[in-house]
Chains A and B, each alone.
Chain A
Amino acid sequence: MLHNSPSLLPTFVSLSSAVPKQAFDQNTLWDSVFDDWYADIPDARDIGTVTRVRKRHMAWDPARELGGRTRGIGERMKDFVGIVDEVAGEAVENLLQTMHPTDVGSIVMASSTGYYGPTPDYFLAKRFGFKSNIRRTFIGHMGCFAAFNVIKTAIDSVTTRPNEYTVGVCAEFSSLHFRPDPSREQAIVHNLFGDAVGAFTLAMREPGHGPQILATHTHQSYDTSDMMTLSVLDDGVRMTLSPYVPFVIASLINQFIDDLCASASVDPANIKHWAIHPGGPKIVDMVAQRLNISEHQLASTWHVLSEYGNCASATVLLVLEHLIANDKPQPGELGVMLAFGPGLTLEGALLRF
């Protein structure tokens, strides 16, 4: 259990998201650039369908910004500075409709797609009038599960200082790292990832003010470190993704859920809502099969994959936001957030709505 009080718990009092303005469907991307990049890969265009991604928002239009060439990491990071301020700024501005900026004690931010200093959280704090003594943390390069690093840091902040709000932000712009690398693996990556910002406000609250976090859990699989990697190259961040990833996650997921639920004395059979990071369709399929999750319960997960793609650390926050709006969980119902990433690492949180 996270807190001795049975009712006052870290609570998502608000959630918000924002995306770059330009969006592309898969056919447009194939027609404009991917057909050239992957001309030598048999049945390459099928990859665009297999990922179950219909549309993505992207800071960079790969046809216009790259075409047949690549670009250096410096140019990519320069454009990150502008887009993160614009899109993360929109997401944080939405959060501030329900609180005053001076009530925010901490801001925690994650990204695996952009780096500069002062880190973007500094500029967000300045722009929105947060106190000059605000506690800032920037979490870099953890990958798709980094929302949980943000959430757990936020939990530590609000449990230590229960009168303050903590703002959490996950900002990912994978399109800034697209490269014309003609391999099947990179074709899958480039047909899966999109850009988005997910943000939340966490505070200590009684039931009825938003999803309360009953427990969190982490599992590192120490034998699988090269199944998913994020390498910084001279021309961008290159992601690798082994086809074994869904199988490893599936082999670990039941024990993971048992451990997550046991820490809050909850029977896994009572979980009604699932916000799963759609790392890829096979991951979702296999996790759902192992945990007996219905297609209806996966609606928000599939929706986000289809309409936004895999937006790395922001994705699970987008799924939770959509799930709350779409499924309208009833007070007291239980839910689980899950994400997976390099390590392989599994992260989860148990929620009570």
Chain B
Amino acid sequence: MTTSVQSHVLTQVADLCRTILEKNAVEIEPGMSLTRDLGFDSMQLMQFFAGIETRYPAVILEDWFIAHASGARDTVGSVADYIAGAFHQQIAAE
């Protein structure tokens, strides 16, 4: 079930992708791979990670990209899920 947090994060991640691609009108689907479908190179990935760090300073993406970088599993949705999951864990811990 998609929570409001997940939905909000997904919107922010998709917006960040559009900013990096410099294409405001492009359709960003949750199942799109950052590298295979959106064509991010290492420079664009660096922009992406920096953008996530700015928006979510408490989230460290290292575990995400080690787990998802292979086989086009680096989807927009998987990043959003990872960030939302980190949020839920943080709330539960508090």
Are B70 and A247 in touch, CB under 8 angstroms? no
Are B66 and A248 in touch, CB under 8 angstroms? yes
Selected from B41, B62, B65, the residue in CB contact (under 8 A) with A184 is B41
Selected from B39, B41, B49, B65, the residue in CB contact (under 8 A) with A248 is B65
Are B35 and A244 in touch, CB under 8 angstroms? yes
Inter-chain CA distance A273–B68, complex, in Å, is 35
Are A251 and B42 in touch, CB under 8 angstroms? no
Are A224 and B70 in touch, CB under 8 angstroms? yes
Selected from A224, A243, A251, the residue in CB contact (under 8 A) with B45 is A243
For the complex, would chain B's binding face be called helix, strand, loop or mixed by DSSP majority?
helix
In the complex, whether A27 has a CB less than 8 A from a CB of chain B is no
Query: Within residues 237 to 262 of chain A, which ones have a CB less than 8 A from any CB in chain B?
Result: 242-248, 251
In the complex, whether B69 has a CB less than 8 A from a CB of chain A is yes
Q: Which residues of A contact B41 (CB under 8 A)?
A: 184, 188, 243
Closest to A248 in B: B66
Q: A184-B41, A243-B40, A282-B43 are in contact. Are A251 and B70 (CB under 8 A)?
A: no
10 A-B residue pairs with CB within 8 Å: A221-B66, A223-B67, A242-B70, A243-B41, A243-B42, A243-B45, A244-B42, A245-B42, A247-B62, A247-B69
Smallest CB separation, B53 vs chain A (Å): 13
Contact indicator per residue, chain A 180-192, by CB within 8 Å of chain B (1) or not (0): 0000100010000
Are A247 and B65 in touch, CB under 8 angstroms? yes
Inter-chain CA distance A65–B44, complex, in Å, is 34
Query: Within residues 38 to 76 of chain A, which ones have a CB less than 8 A from any CB in chain B?
Result: 50
Are B45 and A247 in touch, CB under 8 angstroms? yes
Inter-chain CA distance A226–B36, complex, in Å, is 14
6 more A-B residue pairs beyond the given contacts A243-B44, A247-B65, A248-B66, with a C-beta to C-beta distance below 8 A: A223-B66, A247-B62, A247-B69, A248-B69, A251-B66, A282-B43
In the complex, whether B71 has a CB less than 8 A from a CB of chain A is yes
Query: Within residues 46 to 66 of chain B, which ones have a CB less than 8 A from any CB in chain A?
Result: 46, 49, 62, 65-66
Query: Within residues 298 to 313 of chain A, which ones have a CB less than 8 A from any CB in chain B?
Result: none
Query: Within residues 276 to 312 of chain A, which ones have a CB less than 8 A from any CB in chain B?
Result: 280, 282
In the complex, whether A225 has a CB less than 8 A from a CB of chain B is yes
Q: A223-B66, A224-B70 are in contact. Are A247 and B40 (CB under 8 A)?
A: no
Inter-chain CA distance A227–B66, complex, in Å, is 10
Inter-chain CA distance A246–B62, complex, in Å, is 12
Inter-chain CA distance A243–B65, complex, in Å, is 11
Q: Which residues of B contact A282 (CB under 8 A)?
A: 42-43, 46
Closest to B68 in A: A244
Q: Which residues of A contact B74 (CB under 8 A)?
A: 244
Smallest CB separation, A305 vs chain B (Å): 15
Q: Which residues of A contact B67 (CB under 8 A)?
A: 223
Q: A184-B41, A243-B41, A246-B42 are in contact. Are A226 and B71 (CB under 8 A)?
A: yes
Closest to A226 in B: B70
Q: Which residues of B contact A242 (CB under 8 A)?
A: 35, 69-70
